[in-house]
Structure 1
């Protein structure tokens, strides 16, 4: 698969072209498109994760902790969730959520409160300082994050559409493998 410089950054084209050329030498005639798309996605994911970690660290917490705060902040009206809802939304284990909540509680950013709707139920509730950290992080991510703020509305829309199609394709393949 030939990569066109007019559609990709020079560094990306160079790196992915080198990888494609190496595989083309090793396995001539192989369509490398799925591999190159996944390699590009992985590189973007790593870059986004580094930037997200920087945002989290600037608030004195880790990236997993920031994800908990952001999930709670977007849970109106009380910025509270059950531990089960939290680990399902974050797609991590209940043990990981428990450790993160313990750490965030020690920092005064969240607290465990009784769930008024469930006997002996517990909710994880965002405290004011946790709310401030979540809102400040979201402001940074939405205004200056990995250069993505430089995409125009049309470009961003196209990117989101394409990412949605990639995800649907991957989800369908995963479902077919399980069947």
Structure 2
């Protein structure tokens, strides 16, 4: 059990350091990381660069519901972020040409410009991090972080299921 306690303490310590370092990373002056991620997802039709898209994602604007699902975020939180991006002129809501009741969202030319600035700045920070770690270690880190996210999500879901069954 002592090993588990030490591992938990070390994980908390390291995750806190990563969180603090990550908080200081800003894509650009007028854009938060969450806004940058949302702009990227909208620009890439609900997926991040490198992810494959479904046929429904290949053309046209993306609905907020589809975007929220693709980003694994709640619709209210995403809607609020998109509204802020819209107020800044970085995205616009557009009606679906086939169904005027459906409203999509797409990146404006101003949004693409700010994305380019953010890509350059974030890319510079990322390049320095990769240089420090080495490309192989960086790829391994990305893979392991993804695996850790899955493992934590599954552990939390299992714990919630146990609580629900215990309360019945």
Question: If the length of structure 1 is used for normalisation, what is the TM-score?
Answer: 0.67
Match of 1:64 among 34, 39, 49: 34
- Decide whether aligned partners of structure 1 residues 152 and 37 sit closer, same or farther in structure 2, where only a CA change above 3 A counts: same
Query: In the alignment, what sits opposite 1:168?
Result: 150
> 1:115–1:123: 8 Å Cα contact kept in structure 2?
yes
Query: In the alignment, what sits opposite 1:97?
Result: 78
Higher normalized contact order (CA 8 Å, seq sep 6+, divided by chain length)? 2
Map residues 110-121 of structure 1 onto 2, 5 A cutoff.
Answer: 110-121=91-102
Match of 1:55 among 27, 51, 66: 27
> 1:69–1:130: 8 Å Cα contact kept in structure 2?
yes
Decide which moves more: 151-160 or 98-107.
Answer: 98-107
Match of 2:43 among 50, 64, 73: 73
Whichever of the two has the greater Rg, that structure is 1
- Matched position secondary structure for 2:126: coil
- Matched position secondary structure for 1:135: helix
Measured after TM superposition, the shift of residue 80 of structure 1 is 3.2
Q: Residue deviations 1:13-72, cap 9 Å, x none? A: xxxxxxxxxxxxxxx887321232133123213311320xx223x2x2333322221211
Q: Following the alignment from structure 2 to structure 1, what is the Cα–Cα distance between the partners of residues 145 and 159?
A: 21
Q: Following the alignment from structure 2 to structure 1, what is the Cα–Cα distance between the partners of residues 8 and 90?
A: 42
- Decide whether aligned partners of structure 1 residues 114 and 35 sit closer, same or farther in structure 2, where only a CA change above 3 A counts: same
Question: If the length of structure 2 is used for normalisation, what is the TM-score?
Answer: 0.71
Measured after TM superposition, the shift of residue 78 of structure 1 is 5.2
- Matched position secondary structure for 1:32: helix
Supply the RMSD in Å over aligned alpha carbons. Answer: 2.7
Question: Across the two proteins, how many residue pairs are aligned to each other?
Answer: 148
> 2:43–2:106: 8 Å Cα contact kept in structure 1?
no
> 2:41–2:67: 8 Å Cα contact kept in structure 1?
yes
The answer for unaligned runs of 5 or more in structure 2 is 46-56, 162-168
> 1:101–1:110: 8 Å Cα contact kept in structure 2?
yes
Q: Following the alignment from structure 1 to structure 2, what is the Cα–Cα distance between the partners of residues 30 and 155?
A: 25
Q: Following the alignment from structure 2 to structure 1, what is the Cα–Cα distance between the partners of residues 65 and 159?
A: 28
Query: In the alignment, what sits opposite 1:19?
Result: none
1:156 maps to 2:156: no
- Decide whether aligned partners of structure 1 residues 44 and 88 sit closer, same or farther in structure 2, where only a CA change above 3 A counts: same
